[in-house]
Chain A
């Protein structure tokens, strides 16, 4: 039962263009969403989060959009840089335990110079 899904295993983007990573969820109890970035052989690094009371949160080049009715969120990176190449995980929390994150399968982003 995959409650958080990232349907695109990989995404390839040219440097300077926009990267859009998508994530869908099924559990209505989720009300807090996060994006993590992960390089090989390292742990995930927190990027940005959004509460369900908002539909957009921005931090520098990173913006997360939340569409509650569609149970969909997306991460926009603009402009994309080669150093952004990594695996991006969407995660969700809510209900009785905010300490328990449910992760998607990840999307491999490759930014070409």
Chain B
């Protein structure tokens, strides 16, 4: 019974490149959430998705960031033209229905050099 799987665990990108972060939810979970944790801070909500739908993207930066959760395959968080300030740990979580008790993956640590 695999948990929430995120890959890669570590990602290094040069400024201006694109970063793609993948998240496979737990089996049976159709709700996915992305959070970002900057150094010395708590987790900040970014986006909430169901299959093929964005439910709440109020935490997403207006530019360069996008997320999808297609009918087949993992959820993808995409960051275009990365900058140093994008360096952070990005966590994906999933839940059945819209339950508040979400299960988190181990995160992807993005470093922009």
* A interface residues, Cβ below 8 angstroms from B: 4, 6, 32, 34, 36, 41-46, 49, 89, 93, 97-106
Inter-subunit contact B106/A100 (CB<8 Å): no
With CB as the reference atom, state the residue of chain B lying closest to A46: B101
Inter-subunit contact A100/B33 (CB<8 Å): yes
Inter-subunit contact B101/A105 (CB<8 Å): no
Q: Assuming A97-B55, A99-B33, A100-B56, is B42 touching A89 (CB within 8 A)? A: yes
Given the complex of chains A and B, what is the CA–CA distance between A100 and B105 in angstroms?
A: 16
What interface size band does chain B fall in?
20 to 34
A99 is contacted by which of B4, B31, B91, B103 (Cβ under 8 Å)? B31
Q: How far is the CB of A12 from chain B (nearest CB, A)?
A: 19
Inter-subunit contact B4/A43 (CB<8 Å): yes
Inter-subunit contact A106/B42 (CB<8 Å): yes
How would you classify the secondary structure of chain B's contact residues: helix, strand, loop or mixed? strand
Inter-subunit contact A99/B95 (CB<8 Å): yes
* B interface residues, Cβ below 8 angstroms from A: 4, 6, 31, 33, 35, 41-45, 48, 55-56, 58-59, 91, 93, 95, 98-107, 109
How would you classify the secondary structure of chain A's contact residues: helix, strand, loop or mixed? strand
Task: Provide the residues of chain B in CB contact with A36, threshold 8 Å.
Answer: 104
Inter-subunit contact A98/B100 (CB<8 Å): yes
A97 is contacted by which of B42, B98, B103 (Cβ under 8 Å)? B98
Inter-subunit contact B101/A49 (CB<8 Å): yes
Task: Provide the residues of chain B in CB contact with A45, threshold 8 Å.
Answer: 104
Given the complex of chains A and B, what is the CA–CA distance between A42 and B100 in angstroms?
A: 20
Task: Provide the residues of chain A in CB contact with B45, threshold 8 Å.
Answer: 100-103
Q: Assuming A49-B101, A99-B55, is B106 touching A41 (CB within 8 A)? A: yes
Task: Provide the residues of chain A in CB contact with B59, threshold 8 Å.
Answer: 100
Which one of B35, B48, B93, B101 has the greatest number of beta carbons of chain A within 10 Å? B101
With CB as the reference atom, state the residue of chain B lying closest to A90: B42
